[in-house]
C-alpha cells in the first residue's frame, strides 16, 4: 500500500505513536508536517517517505494531498488545521481522517457532508479516543432505548496529556462549556451541571465539559439533548464554576500564547510506562420520560488506544469499507467496533441501583 496513506502532524506526540503502529501494521504511511527537521528525522529513522508543507497555500496543500488515497490529520489544534485539509481532500478526491475532539472542528467538517458526497470522499473525524469509545457507547445505549430524549456521557482517568491535547484544552477554555439542547449546540457556563456518577468504584463528582460527543453523538444517535461530563475532585467543581468571569481574558491572544508556550516548555507527554499503567473509565446513560439505560466502558490508555483505532480505521478506509460523506466512528462501524480492541470491556448497568 505504498503512498496510500499520508499522516500529517506525524512527529507530534500522538502522531508519532500512530506512525509507529501504522508502520508496524504494514500501511507504510508517508509522513508530513510543516517543519522539515523533525519530519525528515522521523522519516529517516523509520525508513518512510515524507513531505514538508504548511497549510498556508491551498494550491500547495491540494497538490500534496492529491498524491494519496487517504490522509490522517494529527496536527492540532484542529480549529486551525481541519478546514484547509478537508477542503484539499474534497478537491483532490482524498479521504479525510483526524483525531480531533474539538466540537467546532467536528461541526465544520459535518457541514462539508454534501460536498464530500459529490466528490465521493469520506470525511471521518475523531478516529482516536476522541471519540471512538464514547461514540460506540452512545450507539450501544441507543439500541436499549430507541426513542431516547437525553444522553449523558462521563469520562474518568484523563490523567495523562500530550502537548497537543493540552493546547486544544487551552483553546477550549476560552469558549466555556457546551451542551446539545433540543438538537442545537448551546454555550453554557463552565461546570454548568454537577452530578455524582458511579464509573465503577463508587460515586465520583463530575462536571459538564465541552467533549466532542456534544457534536458527534447527535449524528450517531439522533438524540436531541446531550451532556458530557468529566470527573473532578469535589473542590474543583466550585472553582470551575467561578472561572466564567475569566473567559474574556483566556480568549486574548497574549494569554493563549503564554499558556501554549508554557505547555511547549514543560510538557512532553506520558512515558510508555505511564501509558501502560493508565486506564480510562467511561459511563453513559440514555433516558426518556419512562425508560432509562446505562452502561460502562473501560479502555486502555487514551494515547495507545488512539494509535490502534486510528490505524484500524485508516486501514478500513483504504480498503473502501466506508461510504462517502461525513461519518462518525459508530455510524461507520457500529457500536461493537470498540470491542474489537484488546483491553476494552463493556457492561450494562442495572437502572434499579
pLDDT band, very low/low/confident/very high, at 268 (cuts 50, 70, 90): low
Q: What is the pLDDT of residue 267?
A: 47
29-43, 71-85, 230-244, 319-333: range with lowest mean pLDDT: 230-244
Cβ atoms of residues 78 and 59 within 8 Å:
no
Residue 224: its pLDDT value, please?
98
Strand arrangement, sheet containing 325-326: 50-52, 30-33, 5-8, 70-73, 95-98, 122-124, 325-326
| Residues in a beta bridge with 180 | 185, 226
Mean pLDDT of 91-119: 97
How far, in Å, CA of 351 to CA of 353, rounded? 6
239 or 336, higher pLDDT? 336
pLDDT digits (tens, 9 = 90+) for 64-89: 999 999 999 999 889 999 999 999 99
pTM for this prediction: 0.88
How far is Cα 348 from Cα 154, in angstroms, rounded to an integer? Answer: 15
Structural domains in the chain, sorted by start = 5-129+304-333 (3.40.50.720), 132-301+338-349 (3.30.360.10)
CB neighbours of 279 closer than 8 A, spacing ≥ 6? Answer: 157, 298, 299, 300, 301, 343
Lowest mean pLDDT among 31-35, 109-113, 117-121, 264-268: 264-268
φ, ψ (nearest 5 deg) of residue 200: 85, 85
pLDDT band at 253 (very low <50, low <70, confident <90, very high): low
Q: Is the pLDDT of residue 248 over 70?
A: no
What are the tens digits of pLDDT across the range 183-209?
999 999 878 899 999 988 778 888 888
Amino acid at each position: 500500500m505504498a503512498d496510500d496513506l499520508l499522516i500529517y502532524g506525524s512527529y507530534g506526540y500522538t502522531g508519532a505513536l500512530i506512525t509507529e503502529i501504522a508502520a508496524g501494521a504494514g500501511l507504510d504511511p508517508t509522513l508530513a508536517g510543516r517543519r522539515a527537521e523533525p519530519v525528515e528525522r522521523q522519516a529517516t529513522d523509520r525508513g518512510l517517505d515524507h513531505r514538508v508543507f504548511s497549510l498556508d497555500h491551498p494550491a500547495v496543500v491540494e497538490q500534496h494531498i492529491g498524491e494519496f488515497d487517504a490522509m490522517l490529520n494529527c496536527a492540532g489544534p484542529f480549529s486551525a488545521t481541519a478546514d484547509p485539509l478537508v477542503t484539499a481532500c474534497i478537491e483532490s478526491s482524498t479521504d479525510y481522517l483526524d483525531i480531533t475532539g474539538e466540537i467546532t472542528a467536528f461541526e465544520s467538517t459535518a457541514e462539508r457532508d454534501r460536498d464530500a458526497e459529490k466528490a465521493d470522499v469520506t470525511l471521518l473525524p475523531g478516529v482516536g479516543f476522541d471519540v471512538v469509545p464514547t461514540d460506540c457507547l452512545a450507539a450501544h445505549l441507543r439500541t436499549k432505548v430507541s426513542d431516547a430524549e437525553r444522553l449523558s456521557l462521563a469520562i474518568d482517568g484523563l490523567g495523562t496529556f500530550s502537548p497537543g491535547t493540552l493546547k486544544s484544552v487551552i483553546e477550549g477554555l476560552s469558549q466555556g462549556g457546551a451542551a446539545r439542547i433540543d438538537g442545537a449546540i448551546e454555550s453554557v457556563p463552565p461546570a454548568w451541571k454537577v452530578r455524582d456518577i458511579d464509573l465503577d468504584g463508587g460515586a465520583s463528582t463530575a462536571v459538564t465539559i465541552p467533549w466532542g460527543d456534544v457534536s458527534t453523538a447527535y449524528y450517531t444517535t439522533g438524540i436531541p439533548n446531550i451532556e458530557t461530563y468529566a470527573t473532578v475532585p469535589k473542590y474543583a467543581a466550585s472553582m470551575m464554576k467561578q472561572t466564567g468571569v475569566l473567559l474574556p481574558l483566556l480568549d486574548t491572544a497574549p494569554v493563549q500564547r503564554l499558556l501554549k508556550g508554557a505547555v511547549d516548555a514543560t510538557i512532553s507527554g506520558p512515558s510508555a510506562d505511564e501509558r501502560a499503567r493508565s486506564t480510562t473509565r467511561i459511563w453513559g446513560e440514555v433516558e426518556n420520560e419512562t425508560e432509562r439505560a446505562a452502561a460502562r466502558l473501560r479502555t486502555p490508555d487514551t494515547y495507545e488506544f488512539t494509535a490502534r483505532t486510528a490505524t484500524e480505521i485508516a486501514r478500513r478506509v483504504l480498503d473502501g469499507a466506508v461510504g462517502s460523506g461525513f461519518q462518525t466512528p459508530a455510524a461507520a462501524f457500529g457500536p461493537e467496533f470498540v470491542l474489537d480492541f484488546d483491553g476494552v470491556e463493556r457492561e450494562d448497568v442495572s437502572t434499579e441501583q
